Structures are given as structure tokens and as C-alpha cells.
Structure 1
């Protein structure tokens, strides 16, 4: 089995749009993390916020999907990211360790996979996930969620939008060959912005 990379999946999904990505972003996602040889990134979050509704959702979901929705407000703290693959598995896994100020570190792992229909799916735990739509703007990579689901016995059950944290928007913006910005916003149709994360990261070269 070919060692998977996010780049291979994104190239397939984006088609000709892939060529509009900044070459540094193309090179970053083209790297294939062989099993036992993860890619490591480190950085700092300048912004971590949640609204009142977001805080409630964060605490309610913490036992199931710890770290996916963090019920905290914080700033200027380190985050470590590890991107890895598993033997005989086409999914790409991403582990994040948030080293918040005055709290125990929070670890959150998700994985990305391609559906049979050629969709990009991200799973956050307990069968919960979201479909992602990719777009290239000004050479940077943007993701938008296009519905959440709960997967049970291989069947995806759509979740009503009002019962989710909101629509997720993520931007991967290039700074230089070894540094990039990430900004995530989750916006609910009724309650507005529920969660925000923003930070700067760089690859750790061994």
C-alpha cells in the first residue's frame, strides 16, 4: 500500500486548483509520514476563544471527543502537532497537544480519510466527523465543513446543523518555506461564532 499523504488526497480533490497553491504549501502537504516516522510541528496559539454556548458544548463533549471543542479562553501558549500514518491504513492521523496556561495539557487526535464518493472526511472521535470542502484563495488553502455526521457500522448519519457547534472554517496561510499560520473559526447559524483558534507553526526538522 502506498504511504498516504494529505497532499495526495488534496491534489485529487482540488484537481487543477492544486497548482494555484503556494509552492511552499504544496511541498508541505506532499510529505508522506511513513509509519513510525511522523512529521512534527510546533508553534504557539495567539488566540483560543469560546462563547458561552461554546463552553457548554465543550464541557458536554469533552468525555467523548476531548480537545475537539475546548471550553477555554486562553492565549500565547505552545502547541505541538504530530502527523502520522499507520501500517496498512490509508488515513492520515493528526495529534495535537495544547499546553494551556495553568492547566493540564489537552491532547486531541483526529484522522482524515477519503470517502467512496471522493469526499474529504475528518473524524474527531466516537464516529463523529465532518465533510470538508477545499478551496484555494490567494495561494492559501481553505477548508469549510459541509455537514457533520455520526458514523455507525459504516453508515454516516447526518446531524442537523442546529445541533452541531456550527460551520467550521479553517485557513492554512503560508509565511515562508518553514512557517505557516492556522486560523479556525466555528460559526453557528443561531449563536454566532462559538470557537476560534489562531496560531503560527513551523516544522521541527530532526
Structure 2
């Protein structure tokens, strides 16, 4: 009887599962990463569960070509930061486990000086030629290569593609927006910086953004 009463008072939270998906992509290089990064990317959420990271945008740069590209990309969901006023504004990242595809949904929200914040939606799937792909909707996606550095986990674009009526078409290099590198750099004390850099072989650095976040509370 006492045990039955306690079961109604103390909620049961199943222990987090180990997530080996990123570790499998990196192989032995997984152990190059700081322990804090291995913990963040090595904890599997229950299907449908989310984790939220709160922070602030600390840097934003874009040249004229980058600004034009970012504005044009707003037609397909605004996957690139486009407002310089986001610097020193709140930033939020929400990661949700997608049980249906064995992947993850990512929502990134950046504050702006005026109007609603910019919201970026994407879906990470552990498939494709590199083992990891990111979809932004409208049939647009990119294959990512994952690399480990001494203080960072890096996601580098390998190819961009369109998926139409079940068929997949790789974008030729001339139509590619450039080389995209997304970094997760550990700062210690439960903090990390999310970096985004998009460079084009003709137009140079199009867009660069840094945002500092804190670990979610357990």
C-alpha cells in the first residue's frame, strides 16, 4: 500500500539513453572532443522529448552578396541569419527527438530589434552519402561531414541537393551557396558557442554568426 501511494507522489523519469549516432560518425576522433561536448551529443532523448538551450548572439557579419543571399533564402524558410540587429539579442535552440525518422528536429530562434524573432526550422537525419543530412524544407537539404577538433564538433557541408517527387538532384557547384561550416565549441563551465560561417569561392565570406549558450538545466 505504501509503495502504491509513493508511486502516485514521486513521478518516474526514465534514465536518459546513450546516443551513439554522432560517436559512430566520428569513430576514434570522438574522444578528441571535450567531455562536455561528448555529453551533449551522447545523450539520447526519448522520442518526442526536447532540450532547450538559451543564449545570446555575440557576433554577426555579412557582406553585400551574403545579405542578398540571406534575403532570397527567406522565400524557402529563412535558413540563414539575415538581420544584423540580432547582435546582443536573445537566442534559443530547441532540439527534439524525431522518433519517426530516427533523427532530430532543430529550431533556432534569434531576437531582432523590431518585429518577430527569426525562426529557423531544420531536420537532421542520419542517412545519405556522408551519414548525416540536414533538411530545411521545400525539398532542400545538404549532406554534412562531421569532424572533431580539440575544442569543437564541426559540421561541414559536403553537397547541396533538391528532392522532388521522390527523386534527388545534387546541385552543381556553380549553384551552390558556398561552403557552410557550423561549429559547436566548448567554453567550459557549462557554456558553448555556436558558430556559423558561409564562404563562397568568388564572393568570400558571405555570412558569419556566433551565439553563446548555456547548458540546459537537468
TM-score, normalising length: structure 2: 0.84
Q: For 2:37, which of 12, 20, 25 is the aligned residue?
A: 25
Contact 1:140 1:172 in 2 (8 A): yes
Residue matched to 1:131: 143
Residue matched to 1:195: 207
Cα separation, partners in 2 of 1:147 and 1:41, compared to 1, 3 Å: same
Aligned positions of 1:5-84 closer than 5 A: 7-66=19-78, 68-74=79-85, 75-84=87-96
Contact 1:127 1:151 in 2 (8 A): yes
Cα distance in 2 for partners of 1:16, 1:100 equals 41
Cα separation, partners in 2 of 1:56 and 1:156, compared to 1, 3 Å: same
Cα distance in 2 for partners of 1:199, 1:42 equals 10
CA shift at 1:6, angstroms? 10
Runs ≥4 in structure 1, deviation > 3 angstroms? none
TM-score, normalising length: structure 1: 0.89
Contact 1:127 1:150 in 2 (8 A): yes
Cα distance in 2 for partners of 1:151, 1:139 equals 35
Cα distance in 2 for partners of 1:118, 1:190 equals 26
Give unpaired runs (5+ residues) of structure 2.
1-16
CA shift at 1:30, angstroms? 1.5
Give unpaired runs (5+ residues) of structure 1.
none
Cα distance in 2 for partners of 1:7, 1:152 equals 31
CA shift at 1:100, angstroms? 1.4
